[in-house]
Amino acid sequence: MTVPFLILALLTLAGGIASMTLRRLVHCALALTVAFAGLATLYLNLGAEFAGLAQLLVYVGAIAILIVFAILLTRGSEEQPQSVFSPASFGGLVIALAVFAVLAWAVETSSIVHPVNIPPAPPTSMQQIGLTLMQRYVLPLEVIALMLTAAMIGAVILAVRERRNETETGVMPAAESRLG
């Protein structure tokens, strides 16, 4: 455990906690971006350059922007009059603490997480990653491509405004009055 790892971990955790406790949703989205960027630097620190850069591109570049768009589209940036936490938040906190306690207990008592010798960082070249993706993991790669296409079409269909129904309801009263 080195000093850079500790600093990055603290940054990530601070971003995560801030994103879940701040009052205004836009500030929460900014803190969430800090947490995602901190995670990307943690991956880089652990020697997974490609995963870190993919995390930076996908999370900081795309998902953070999507979340900000959703906040602005649902008018979440306005000041909320009541509490931002749900009425049953105490139970949720207890559950989260219990989950953390169980996970920490499992980490501390297990034998495999305390290796005697720490191996050096494995060299991962882009060529090796590409060959692994194209040889051993080619079927998951194709499935993920199909799933991303389906998700994109599904998101557009879900979020698109249904103009046809609105015009129908707009026409209906006129037709009724003509009948009447």
Partner 1 sequence: MNPLAGCLIVSALLFAVGLAGAVTRRSAILVLAGIELMLNAANLNFIAFWRFGPDPQALTGFMFVIFAIAVAAAEAAVGLALIVAIYRHARTSDVSEITEMKG
Asked if residue 37 binds partner 1 (CB under 8 A), the reply is: no
Binds partner 1 by CB under 8 A, chosen from 34, 37, 41, 59:
59
Residue 158 burial (CB < 10 Å; 0-12/13-18/19+)?
A: exposed
Asked if residue 34 binds partner 1 (CB under 8 A), the reply is: no
CA pair distance 25, 42, nearest whole angstrom? 25
φ/ψ of 18, rounded to 5, equals: -65, -40
Binds partner 1 by CB under 8 A, chosen from 83, 127, 165, 169:
83
By beta-carbon proximity to partner 1, the closer residue of 116 and 179 is 116
Could you tell me if 60 and 33 are in contact, meaning their C-beta atoms sit under 8 angstroms apart?
A: yes
CB of residue 172 to partner 1, shortest distance in Å: 19
Binders of partner 1 among residues 116 to 175 (CB under 8 A) are 118-119, 121-122, 124, 128-129, 132-133, 137, 140, 144, 147-148, 151-152, 154-156, 158-159, 161
Asked if residue 65 binds partner 1 (CB under 8 A), the reply is: no
Asked if residue 92 binds partner 1 (CB under 8 A), the reply is: yes
What are all long-range contacts of 88-92, with beta carbons under 8 Å and residues at least 24 apart?
none
By beta-carbon proximity to partner 1, the closer residue of 117 and 177 is 117
- Number of residues located near partner 1, criterion CB under 8 A: 85
CA pair distance 7, 3, nearest whole angstrom? 6
CB of residue 146 to partner 1, shortest distance in Å: 11
Burial 82-99 (b: 16+ CB within 10 A, else e): eeeeeeeeeeeeeeeeee
